[in-house]
Amino acid sequence: MPDTTLEDQLAGFSPALPYTRENLADAPNTPGVHVVLERGAVIYVGRTRHLRDRMRQHLTGNRTSSVLHDQVGTRLDKRGPEATADDIAAWLGACDIRWLETGDLEATKDALVVALQPRFNRQIPGQSRAAR
């Protein structure tokens, strides 16, 4: 199987933008897959029926409503006192976000998670938790 670059894997995705509320204002609110990148590496892949709403929820939501928000918060908690929602939003704001409008949510997400194994995705499709 030929090696593919990250850009090949993310063909069709929006350009990378800093992950801020302002940059999400014009994002579509349609079904799609989104990726969060830290220094050019994909750290999270998500799928949703409402891209803009879900990407905002990761950024400004809470730990019970967003796996990404919870995972980032847990990482930041290890540095000191429990991370606040503002701490988590600031950390994510230093990352980039990209998205792809698609109706093939599950297959697109699963293919990216298997290929990239992002650290903030809890489950890798086809892999049991014990094997991880």
Q: Give the pLDDT confidence of 76-99 residue by residue, as tens digits.
A: 999 989 999 999 999 999 999 999
Domains parsed from the chain with CATH numbers = 6-122 (3.40.1440.10)
CA separation for the pair 31, 115 (Å, rounded): 21
pLDDT of 37 above 90: yes
Q: How far apart are CA 16 and CA 125, in angstroms?
A: 25
pTM value? 0.88
Q: What is the pLDDT of residue 1?
A: 43
For residue 33, CA distances in Å to 41, 46, 111 come to 16, 6, 11
pLDDT 10s digits, 57-80 = 999 989 998 999 999 999 999 998
Mean pLDDT in the chain? 90
